[in-house]
Amino acid sequence: MLGRLSPIRLVVLSCVFSLVLAEVVLRLLGTQLTFVEEKGNGYQSSFGITSDSHYCIYEPYLNHRHTNQDFSYAISANKHGFVGSTPTEKKTRFRIAVLGDSFTEGVGALSPDSSYPALLENLLAAQYPNLNAEVLNFGVGGSDVVFETRYLIDSMAQFAPDLVLMTYNNSDLTDIIQWGGVERFHTDGTTHARQLPWWSWFFQHLHLVRILVSNGLGYDEELLMHSETVTKEFAHAEDVMIESVVEADTYSKQIGAKFMVVLMPFANDLVSEKKKTDL
């Protein structure tokens, strides 16, 4: 049968067979897996995401358990869409509101009592009992300083905080690169991330394309940044972050609250030389 095929067809079939074989081998070896895929989940793109809200919060009263190969974490949201108990309407204690992402929420912690805002409340109670402080956790996985500033301005006054803590880390920069600045918020109440490149479907489904795009064209695994523009992307994200923090500080003063920024570094931030931002 093969003897009847023309040389051109033989070459084409050989190429197709080689490509299919290479794709199978790459998949079996786990080559070019994204971080999310390495955790046992399917491919997730950072592009094209749309939210029907301007806030990064949970559905009120959501009860859900998030399980992956690293941990099993129970989410129990209050009526405002955050973890922990619902704040009392009448403030009787020194109130600290903590804004942040999954590191503030406590994703992966054994219980909500193990989150850093909960530990902060216990620490203040032990060392400064006369302060009589309560710490409210407004951290939500996937949030960033732009989302947090929007929620602060639109909704925080009802909680009458005495102190607002805005927690950030390097993931805020990549989140801003993904979502953009305030242009992410559309007038119809929705929020939009950057749009998908037309060839992203091939990147998602073919590991051979991932090698070409990542190693040959210089994109990262989420297609957010190109090796030639990464410095510019991060510099712009830093500017957006600073603008958001300044805006959050200004508004906190307007509602009678003090404002502080909390840096939560990753482990590699502590052992490597990285450019310091104005923050």
Tokens 């602060």 identify what position?
A: 152
pLDDT at site 70: 76
Q: Which H or E run contains 76?
A: strand 72-76
- Whether pLDDT at 3 is above 80: no
More confident residue, 103 or 275: 103
On whether the CB atoms of residues 191 and 51 are closer than 8 A, the answer is yes
Q: In the numeric block, which tokens belong to residue 220?
A: 């990262």
Among the ranges given (64-78, 115-129, 139-153), the one the predictor scored with the smallest mean pLDDT = 64-78
pLDDT at site 279: 43
Q: Tell me the pLDDT tens digit for each residue of 25-67.
A: 888 888 888 777 777 777 777 778 899 999 999 999 999 887 7
- Whether pLDDT at 2 is above 60: no
Classify 49 in phi/psi space as left (phi over 0), alpha (psi -120 to 50) or beta.
beta
Could you report how far apart the first and last alpha carbons of the chain are, in Å? 70
pLDDT > 90 fraction of the chain, expressed in percent and rounded: 50
Mean pLDDT along residues 106-120: 85
pLDDT at site 271: 64
Q: What does the CA dihedral 100, 115, 163, 255 come to, rounded to 10 degrees?
A: 50
SS3 241: helix
Residues in the chain: 279
Q: Tell me the pLDDT tens digit for each residue of 212-238.
A: 888 878 887 777 777 778 889 999 999
Strand-pair category, 258-263 with 163-168: parallel
Q: Tell me the pLDDT tens digit for each residue of 176-211.
A: 999 999 999 999 999 999 887 788 888 888 889 888
DSSP calls for 115-184: SHHHHHHHHHHHH-GGG-EEEEEEE-TT--HHHHHHHHHHHGGGG--SEEEEEE-HHHHHHHHHH-SGGG
Q: Tell me the pLDDT tens digit for each residue of 238-257.
A: 999 999 999 999 999 999 99
Q: In DSSP terms, which residues pair with 95 in a beta bridge?
A: 134
- Whether pLDDT at 105 is above 70: yes
Instruction: Indicate the pLDDT class of residue 270, thresholds 50, 70 and 90.
Output: low
Task: Give 120: exposed, middle or buried? Use CB within 10 Å, 0-12, 13-18, 19+.
Answer: middle
Strand-pair category, 133-139 with 94-100: parallel
Among the ranges given (30-34, 141-145, 154-158), the one the predictor scored with the smallest mean pLDDT = 30-34
Q: How many Å apart are CA 273 and CA 269, to the nearest integer?
A: 7
pLDDT at site 278: 46
pLDDT at site 94: 97
Q: Which H or E run contains 96?
A: strand 94-100
Q: How many Å apart are CA 99 and CA 137, to the nearest integer?
A: 7
- Domain spans of the chain? 1-31, 35-271
Can you give the pTM of this predicted structure? 0.84
